[in-house]
Amino acid sequence: MSWRVSTLFAAGALAGCMASGPPAPAQTPPAPPAAGASSAPGGAVLLGTPLLLDRTDLRLGTTVQLAHVPSVSELHDLTLILGLAHIVVTFAEWPKDFAALQALNQTPEGVDVIALLPGYPPSQAAANAWNYVNAALRIVIVVPGPPPGSGVISDLNAMRHLERVIAQMNEPSRSGFERLQRPLSFRKILE
């Protein structure tokens, strides 16, 4: 009986190896995407698609990353994703007004939205628009250097969902950020 089982096992293994065909030839891996951020026209900082890790978040959940504000129907479709916990929206530029953000008010309960914005707000209205979003919202702003004036810092301080400002600078300095009432981090890109 054991001879029969051994013969069947050997025949199955041989048939499996023969059916797979020759090994695939070696291929050159694709070039990796550019790391970090790069500058866009006008000095804006492009954020790419970052991976956000929050060491205080111990739940098992899924993060969805988008390069646009999801529509109400997209938000509804996202509820079908198992364990949806975070929606990360990476902006190429600041939304001009609340109308562009209004769909975020339909974010499913228990899901937070993390907005990554490049540069300083272009206007006080653009900064204030975020105060009308009634969702679990966390805003991170990546700026290309010190603020152009103290009025911009006042606009940032008035943003109730602003979690952190990250200054991308070769030489980290708090100069210009003294009145900022949010955590400040620095980032340096090495190429």
Work out the pLDDT band at 29, boundaries 50, 70, 90.
Answer: very low
pLDDT in tens, 106-164: 999 999 999 999 999 999 999 999 999 999 999 999 999 999 988 999 999 999 999 99
Burial class (CB in 10 A: 0-12, 13-18, 19+), 28: exposed
The pLDDT value recorded for residue 114 is 94
Mean per-residue pLDDT over the chain, rounded: 80
Residue 49 or 89, more confident: 89
Tell me phi and psi for residue 122, to 5 degrees.
-70, -20
- Tokens describing residue 21: 């065909």
- DSSP for 117-159, please give it: EESS-SSHHHHHHGGG--SEEEEEEEESSS-SSHHHHHHHHT-
What's the confidence (pLDDT) of residue 55? 64
Query: In the chain, what is the straight-line distance between the N-terminal and C-terminal CA atoms, in Å?
Result: 66
